[in-house]
Structure 1
Amino acid sequence: MKNVNKRLRQVGVVLVALVSLGAAAPVTTADAAAKTVPQALRKTWFDWGGESGLHRVKITAKTYTDSFGLYQHGKWVLNGTQHTLRLGKKVKKNKTFTLSKKPDKKGFYTLRVKFTYQDGSLQDGNVTRKIKRVKVKGKNRLKIQLRFSKTDTRMDTYMPITKKILTTTMN
């Protein structure tokens, strides 16, 4: 009888240990998933958007805003659709975006988004966006590499324009 009680206690201790380890695991996973966008990528970046005016990408610690518009009298005026996405664990259309935890060998972070433009076209997983902050002629730029999976072509864009230049030339 003593051996049975001793065995039951050992099994009980093992079960308690396993349960406590299982309870601690989700906390660690949740903490690892609660990341922010790296400081180097956070800023409001501008580029010429052709007929749409200016292309503005605003990146904060937890959000990514993509819009087209103009500066009129010192204020941003939309000239199309604006998408503000929250940092998440999974990409949800028109709601969340994801960013890789670490940059690749060339220093690019992989940014995944999925949203619908005003004309109904969909920006989706068929385009891989890689972003990093670079210096061009001593000035900070946001380099965006777009790779289109259907045609296997790549397009590099630099977001070089500052708000100061825009407000003085667009008013």
Structure 2
Amino acid sequence: MTRLHKQLLHAGLALMTVATVGAAIPGATANAATRTVPQSLRNTWFAWGKGDGGANRVKITAKTYTNTLGVYQHGKWRVNSEKHTLKLGKKLKKNKTFTLSKKADRNGYRTLTTLDQYNKYVMKVKRVKVHNKTKLKMITKFSDNSKRTDMFFPVTKKIVNTYMD
């Protein structure tokens, strides 16, 4: 074998190796590109409820969103109403998925959208610091003219051990 043939053989083997590795990479990058909720929004958040509902607890993980009303009793969360856990999706499905905008708007809010059997809820969410304390700010829009702003605190041992009833 001449020197030219050896170089061509090595170049061919290198090209095949690159092609084989390149064919395997799209599967890996597709899994790596799966959308998740940003780390800044993930936590179990809590807000005092109004009336007999108790408290409102929002739990956000990498792929789920759960919103319930209930109370902490003896260190455990007791649900007073229905509990729905929604999975992160690209399209809204009634009582099954929620969507989250890929990028924050100019004010730093991401749009979280849910759909139940009656209504579509559009919420603007972001993590904020108020008086040096971390909170989740959620703005819910009910119609073109009305909106409600809620502040959620991270769930701490102090909140869990508080008897609320």
Matching residue within 136, 140, 145 for 2:139: 145
Listed as ranges, the matches of 1:22-101 within 5 Å are: 34-50=34-50, 51-101=52-102
Distance 1:132 1:161 in 2: 13
Q: Which deviates further from its counterpart, 62-71 or 153-162?
A: 153-162
Instruction: Give the 4+ runs in structure 1 shifted more than 3 A.
Output: 30-33
TM-score (norm 2): 0.75
Structure 1 residues 62, 161: CA separation in 2 closer, same or farther (over 3 Å shift)?
A: closer
- Describe the superposition over 1:109-149 as per-residue Cα deviations: whole angstroms up to 9, x where unpaired: 00000125xxxxx3x22x42000000000111000011222
Listed as ranges, the matches of 1:154-169 within 5 Å are: 154-160=147-153, 162-169=155-162
Gaps of 5+ in 1: 1-25, 117-121
Distance 2:63 2:73 in 1: 28
Pairwise CA RMSD: 2.3
Distance 2:135 2:146 in 1: 22
Q: How big is the shift at 1:165? A: 2.9
- Describe the superposition over 1:11-69 as per-residue Cα deviations: whole angstroms up to 9, x where unpaired: xxxxxxxxxxxxxxx97xx6697200000000000011221111000000000001111
Q: How big is the shift at 1:153? A: 1.4
Higher relative contact order (CA 8 A, sep 6+): 2
Distance 2:154 2:48 in 1: 8
**Aligned 8 A contact 1:134 1:141 in 2:** yes
Structure 1 residues 161, 168: CA separation in 2 closer, same or farther (over 3 Å shift)?
A: same
More helix by share: 1
- Describe the superposition over 1:47-95 as per-residue Cα deviations: whole angstroms up to 9, x where unpaired: 1122111100000000000111111111111111111000001111110
**Aligned 8 A contact 1:46 1:163 in 2:** no
Alignment coverage as a number of residue pairs = 138
TM-score (norm 1): 0.72
Distance 2:94 2:33 in 1: 19
Structure 1 residues 33, 91: CA separation in 2 closer, same or farther (over 3 Å shift)?
A: farther
Matching residue within 131, 135, 145 for 2:129: 135
**Aligned 8 A contact 2:141 2:147 in 1:** yes
Alignment correspondent of 2:12: none
- The amino acid of 1:85's aligned partner reads L
Distance 1:140 1:66 in 2: 19
**Aligned 8 A contact 1:45 1:159 in 2:** yes
Aligned sequence identity (%): 51
**Aligned 8 A contact 2:74 2:161 in 1:** no
**Aligned 8 A contact 2:37 2:61 in 1:** yes
